[in-house]
Amino acid sequence: MGIVHALSVLPEERRSGAARALMVGMARIAPERDRIRIELFVEEGRPALFFYERIGMRDLHHRHMRLEGEALERLAHGIFDVA
């Protein structure tokens, strides 16, 4: 099992592509380490929630987000819907 306790981007770095780079990196590393999904919890009201949804994560229950399967593979190859 792998756990990321906290993932954040400094406010001055938001909208710079930093979050995309972090998530793409995690998506690429996951299968190398025999991980089949990425899960995280998003604090209520965080703008990052919309970002996670646009890259293919789905809300399992009350901001418990999961990325797996084809969505994980697309992100690992840098393919996502983020504008």
Mean pLDDT of 1-15: 80
Using one digit for the tens of pLDDT, what is the confidence trace for 21-72?
999 999 999 989 988 999 888 888 888 888 899 999 999 888 899 999 999 9
Tokens of 70: 């084809």
Q: Provide the residue ranges of all domains of the chain, joining segments of one domain with +.
A: 17-76
Question: What is the identity of the amino acid at 7?
Answer: L
Q: Please report which residue ranges of the chain form alpha helices under DSSP H.
A: 18-32, 48-54, 69-76
* pLDDT band with cut points at 50, 70 and 90 for residue 1: low
Q: What is the DSSP letter of 66?
A: E
CB of 59 closer than 8 Å to CB of 65: yes
Report field, pTM of the whole predicted structure over 0.85: no
- Model confidence at 73: pLDDT above 90: yes
* pLDDT band with cut points at 50, 70 and 90 for residue 2: low
pLDDT at residue 76, rounded to an integer: 93
Q: At what angle do helices 18-32 and 69-76 cross, to 10 degrees?
A: 120
